[in-house]
Amino acid sequence: ALKKRQVSRLVRERLPASIRELLAGMGEVGDAQNVPIFAVGGFVRDLLLGKENLDIDLVIEGDGIAFAREYCRRHPCRVRTHAKFGTAVIIFPDGFKVDIASARMEYYHEPGALPNVEHASIKLDLYRRDFTINTLALALNGPEKGALLDFFGAQRDLQDKVLRVLHNLSFVEDSTRVFRAIRFEQRLGFHIGLQTEQLLRSALRMGFVEKVGGPRLFNELAQILKESNPLPAVERMAELGLLPYIHSRLTLPPRVKSLFAEASRAIHWYELLYTGEPCQGWLVYFLCLTSGLDEESLEELNRRLGIPSRHGVILGEQRREVHRLQRFFERRWGRGRPLRPVELHARLSPLATEALLYLMARVDNDEVRSWVSYFYTALRKAAPLLSGDELKALGIPPGPLYKKILKTLLDARLNGKVASREDEIVLVKKRFLKP
């Protein structure tokens, strides 16, 4: 176990000065209020693992909301509180956030339900957590300042790279931990301990995972799909028999696995373009995972998981269109008739980036894939250089004709017939102005 001296060295070497100052400031307010305050959870875990993690979770042995208010009285920041849970979020002017909780006792009325909260000690708070590796607490003030509290063997398990639950009913209390176990296992390169895996499997057998509500299930699944390479975790879900809990007909055949690999290539390709427009990789992977489901099953799944309706268009119409386009493009390729830029533009422009990346993942033909990437890099943003005002200045009276002219100019641009503003003016004069 790490000594205070070793811990302060880790803090000094691995945390940026701004974070160290922030934690010191929190400690001072804790001292002034005479309440013990701790950094806990993933932040401390990752500090020991040497992984960057600036999601700071603090636990106050006392009233976290009163603490947060006092901190914000002394520092330029604002606070958002949730009295029901005894939690607060401190929000700094640059948007940086720190979560504050009151050391609490949680009563689980029913497995899978949200906990009620009441004050209790830090140890009890840590005991309520998912895995031992998340139970470390770093004292920020008082006589213990700088010490690592390790009640449940977290340091040993970090060393052994093993995920263990804290007690036998852990998965029964909260079955979303099944998914969290898989996510941490793959992300950290750990393995689920033998006994923990037995508990996990028996929670599955006893039907507790079925009780997890749709939105919570969706949240866990999305978290897994947001990992940088989600396939190993999805394979582990399949191996443990979890996919049918997402949808009764969901499986992971080799075809879908290779789709994940292709999607990962497409997403990396996209990220290297630095378009400044973020894409939701998890949505691309979700399309891959559910690619074998018919439309009706997918709709049913979306409804049950409560998938936000803003994703509905991509998961519905656009998915259907991608499946159609894939067949169409491959037929055209088979006949040796590549799509012309105008055709590519017309067919691909309506699709969201996520749908395009899904299309790239689906086509198993480098040339067809290059049509899609060509569209994205060269055609997607194509637009006429002349504006309506300039057409007017050329002596064309405003009216429905403008739409036709702009379409003509766009097509000419896509076909490489015009490059400059002058080219466009010449074209407009030739085609739309009587001499």
Enumerate binding residues for ligand ATP (CB under 6 A).
Answer: 41-42, 53, 55, 57, 129-130, 134, 174, 176-177, 180
Nearer to ligand ATP, 123 or 180 (CB): 180
As a three-state string, the secondary structure of 234-262 is: HHHHHHCCCHHHHCCCCCCCHHHHHHHHH
Smallest distance from ligand ATP to CB 245, Å: 16
Backbone angles phi, psi at 212, to 5 degrees: -65, 125
Roughly how many angstroms between the first and final C-alpha of the chain, as a whole number?
A: 89
Residue with token string 């939105």: 215
Under 8 Å between Cβ of 266 and 284: yes
Q: How far is CA 305 from CA 166, 247, 258, 280, 300, in A?
A: 29, 10, 25, 18, 9
Nearer to ligand ATP, 226 or 429 (CB): 226
Nearer to ligand ATP, 215 or 253 (CB): 215
Smallest distance from ligand ATP to CB 392, Å: 55
Burial of 369 (0-12, 13-18, 19+ CB in 10 A): buried
Smallest distance from ligand ATP to CB 413, Å: 45
Under 8 Å between Cβ of 226 and 220: no
**Cα separation, 302 vs 312, whole angstroms:** 8
Residue with token string 């373009």: 273
Nearer to ligand ATP, 57 or 411 (CB): 57
Smallest distance from ligand ATP to CB 275, Å: 26
Nearer to ligand ATP, 63 or 99 (CB): 99
Nearer to ligand ATP, 108 or 402 (CB): 108
Smallest distance from ligand ATP to CB 243, Å: 20
**284 is written with which tokens?**
């691309």
Smallest distance from ligand ATP to CB 182, Å: 12
**Cα separation, 128 vs 213, whole angstroms:** 20
Smallest distance from ligand ATP to CB 49, Å: 11
**262 is written with which tokens?**
């292709």
Nearer to ligand ATP, 11 or 113 (CB): 113
